[in-house]
Amino acid sequence: MRVLGINAIFHDPAAALVVDGRVVAAAEEERFSRRKHGKRPVPFSAWELPELSAAWCLASAGIDVDALDAVAYSFDPGLCRDAADLGLSDPWDWLRVDYARRAPQFLAAALPGLDPEKVRFVPHHVAHAASAGLAAPPAGDDTAVLVLDGRGEVASHLAGVYRDGRLSPLYSQQLPHSLGLLYEDLTRHLGFLHSSDEYKVMALASYGQPRHLGQLRDLVRATDDGGFQVERIDWSSMAKAVAAGGELAEEHADLASSVQVRLEEVVLDLSRWLYDASGGATTLAMAGGVALNCVANARLAAEGPYRDVWVQPAAGDSGTALGAALHVAGELGDRSAPMAGADLGRGWSEEELEAELRRAALPYTRPASIAAEAARVLADNGIVAWYQGRSEYGPRALGHRSLLAHPGDPDTTRRMNDVKGREQFRPIAPMVRAERFAELFDGVYPSPYMLFVHRVKPEWRDRIPAVTHVDGTARVQTVHAETEPVVAELLAEFERRTGLPVVVNTSLNTAGRPMVDTPREAMELFGSAPVDLLALGPFAVHRGALGGAR
Ligand SMILES: [Fe+2]
């Protein structure tokens, strides 16, 4: 069966193509449209579809629109209720629902030849759940699944269990109670962009003390039926509101810390309830925007009852395109295959990359090993724009569209944040050779998608200061030679030169822009930022070769 998944309702519009139960392509619209997060999550934008990524998914697999068996849309307007009845103040929500109802016609217009009858609505949280429960590595027994986000049709949470590829929902928390909306509200109060900058709040939290935890324990609490309650919170009583981009003080870090810790506690409570209700499932799979909170994930993995915790790398709404498609493929009789990696987006052949370099008239070489060449530049404390293979699905750069640097220089954080033009409190993360992980870090292993924080062992903190956060943690990506041979070779070469099995890895983009997707965008970034080497597939472009000063 051929099923195209579509996420379009709130933010991070995306498309995914599932053929015979296997994800063959998935991409976020922002990588094509170059609009960060694709669109703002307002009702007026709900009609906009991920047209470019959907068309690319089909073209990349050589599938015509009329050969699709179904299109899965990750929101079911039939479940919706009046926003006021849900306790939401969203006076235009009816418009969102109206657009969703018409999605089959909008899709038929966007994908000429599509029969609108083939469009199926998948409940938002079922799509999130499938992106976790059906895409996770096989567990050997039942997989518990926990979805937490801002909102879907009428809920903000789903706890359930996958058994033989079928979801049994156990509890769903109804709106207006929402841990995702709670975090979004805080994000707004701290002067950041909600539905976008929540990860900045998480980073800020590590600088604060949870002074308001007692109060928040009263206001935000799990209930004994598997759900939770969030009371109305007067943020200003705990820290004054910050204007957009305004100055942050200790009180703001303390507030962020308090909410972060309370979120962790409630997520733990929910996961324990689910463990009991699922009859002791050994694996927990998670999705929904809250599951991008890698501090909470790490705590859940460490203190929760599960042997394994797996998080969908596209845990935010983009992942519902993949989940909706997997869910409908299952309904049509296909057995889903776990996803092998997040490199599901666009890629270019060596010939195409070389043609782009020639067109740009850039002086390039083809070293015997691009990994060794990049390792040499990194060992000299240079910055490398690393562009290899297919682009990542989800918000993390995982060694395909990455900016790399030396972890041993304390000044690397400032230089990288300068290249990217972003706040200095933002940590940068390490990638590490899988076989060396245990020597340097404590925490969840394997961690190929950077969705958990780890503890840096004390004896290593001074050796890799650039990636050791103020609280002694690091958000680690483990690199496995079987799945990422070129990155593994780079790490091995870097270690041979420096004794460090770790390289700094951050996303290949500049502030406010989506990650680089095409070779041309990679060259544009290289041309405009102090990057020493562009490693474009097997080709190398050195800053020095351009004749510029470093
Ligand atoms: Fe969602």
DSSP-derived secondary structure for 211-238: TTHHHHHHHEEE-TTS-EEE----GGGT
Does residue 435 surpass a pLDDT of 60? yes
In the reported structure, the alpha carbon of residue 410 is separated from the centroid of ligand 1 by a whole-number distance in angstroms of 37
pLDDT band with cut points at 50, 70 and 90 for residue 549: very low
Distance from C-alpha of 467 to C-alpha of 448, rounded to nearest angstrom: 17
Distance, CA 117 to ligand 1 centroid (Å)?
Answer: 25
Which is nearest to 155 in space by CA: 176, 129, 130, 179?
Answer: 176
Cβ neighbors of 537 (< 8 A, separation 6 or more) are 348, 350, 353, 370, 387, 388
Q: Report the separation in Å between the CA atom of 385 and the middle of ligand 1, taken as the mean of its atom positions.
A: 32
| Tokens of residue 418, six digits | 């300068």
Question: CB neighbours of 499 closer than 8 A, spacing ≥ 6?
Answer: none
- What residues form DSSP beta bridges with 432? 478, 502
Whether the pLDDT of residue 78 is over 60: the answer is yes
Residue 40 is predicted with a pLDDT of 83
Is the pLDDT assigned to residue 197 strictly greater than 90?
no
Ion ligand 1: residue ranges with CB closer than 5 A: 149, 317
**Average pLDDT value over all residues in the chain:** 94
Inter-CA distances, 146 with 240, 448, 546, Å: 33, 20, 51
**Percent of the residues in the chain that have a pLDDT greater than 90, as a whole number:** 87
Ligand 1 center–CA 121 separation, angstroms: 15
Mean pLDDT (whole number) for 277-290? 96
User: How close is the Cα of 339 to the center of ligand 1, in Å?
Assistant: 20
Q: Which of 148, 149, 205 is nearest to 427 (CA)?
A: 205
Report the C-alpha gap between 278 and 288 in whole angstroms. 20
Query: How many residues does this entry show for the chain?
Result: 550
Per-residue pLDDT of 107-140, as tens digits, reads 999 999 999 999 999 999 999 999 999 999 987 7
Q: What Cα–Cα distance (Å) separates residue 348 from each residue in 93, 351, 355, 481, 536? A: 41, 8, 11, 21, 10
Q: Give per-residue burial for 370-409: e unless 16+ CB within 10 Å, then b.
A: bbbbbbbbbbeebbbbbbbbbbbbbbbbbbbbbbbbbbbe
Mean pLDDT value of segment 323-334:
97
CA of 384 relative to ligand 1 center, distance in Å:
34
Tokens of 94: 């009816």
**Cis amide linkage into residue 137, ω under 30° from 0:** no
- Residue 194: pLDDT band with limits 50, 70, 90: confident
Q: What is the pTM of this model?
A: 0.95
DSSP per position, 163-215: ETTEEEEEE-PBTT--HHHHHHHHHHHTTSPTTT-HHHHHHHHTTS--TTHHH
Please state, in angstroms and rounded to a whole number, the distance separating the CA atoms of residues 182 and 186. Answer: 6
> Which whole-number Å values give the CA distances from 400 to 35, 176, 369, 479, in the listed order?
20, 39, 16, 12
Work out the pLDDT band at 550, boundaries 50, 70, 90.
very low
The whole-number average pLDDT for the span 207-211 is 95
**Ligand 1 mean position to 180 CA, how many Å?**
9
Which of 11, 37, 189, 400 is flagged as catalytic?
A: 11
Mean pLDDT of 274-302: 96
Is the backbone of residue 389 left (phi > 0), alpha (psi -120 to 50) or beta?
left
Query: pLDDT, tens digit, for every residue of 500-531?
Result: 999 999 999 987 889 999 999 999 999 988 89
Q: Quick check: 416 pLDDT over 90?
A: no
For residues 426 and 419, give the distance between their C-alpha atoms in angstroms, rounded to a whole number: 13
Percent of the chain at pLDDT above 70? 99
Average pLDDT of the segment spanning 311-333 = 98
Is there a catalytic annotation at residue 252? no
Residue 7 alpha carbon to ligand 1 centre in Å: 10
Q: How far is the CA of 88 from the centre of ligand 1 (A)?
A: 16
Tell me how far the alpha carbon of residue 407 lies from the centroid of ligand 1, in angstroms: 35
433 with 491: CB under 8 angstroms?
A: yes
2, containing H or E segment: strand 2-7
Residues 350-392: tens digit of each pLDDT: 999 999 999 999 999 999 999 999 999 999 999 999 999 999 9
Residue 547: which pLDDT band, with cuts at 50, 70 and 90?
A: low
CA distance 228 to 392: 33
Ligand 1 center–CA 415 separation, angstroms: 34
Q: Are 154 and 294 in contact (CB under 8 A)?
A: no
